[in-house]
Amino acid sequence: MDVVLRRAVAGLASAVVAAEALLLALVHFVLGRTTRNQSMSVAGADPDVMSMATYAMGAAIAAFLLLCAVLLAVTAVRDRPPGGFARVVIVTAAVTHGVLGALAAALVGWGAFAATMLILCLLVLTLALHAAEGNWLKPTTR
């Protein structure tokens, strides 16, 4: 049962994070397009630069979240704890979701807060279920 739970949580986290990456890429695309079409400017900044920066930020966020989703999928398929690099990426995503959740509650509303906290819980639960095994905390000896 423990193996099934670990795989299910990691797989669900992977799917949710991948969906979030695609959604954020779409949102940034729409924002960049709107900025360019409306010739919006903040404090005299060039609208084309603002549009390209929005596209770049959307691509960077989507790439990071897709990397996280791939690492979670590998964790689910192998049913082994994530390695050092994967752990750093997953923890970074979890911390980012924690900060964004606090901002979402204040700026967007409780629905966005709940969605962000759901993703945070899936990321932390993935790490915690594998930490319960205890084998990734021990140094490897060869």
Percent pLDDT > 90 in the chain is 63
- Span 85-101, average pLDDT: 93
Res. 11: pLDDT tops 90: yes
H-run or E-run covering 45: none
Contact 133, 139 (CB under 8 A): no
Q: What pLDDT, in 10s, does the model give residues 116-126?
A: 999 999 999 99
Taken in order 64, 69, 70, 74, is the CA torsion positive or negative? positive
| pTM of structure | 0.84
Other CB atoms within a 10 A radius of the CB of residue 18 amount to: 18
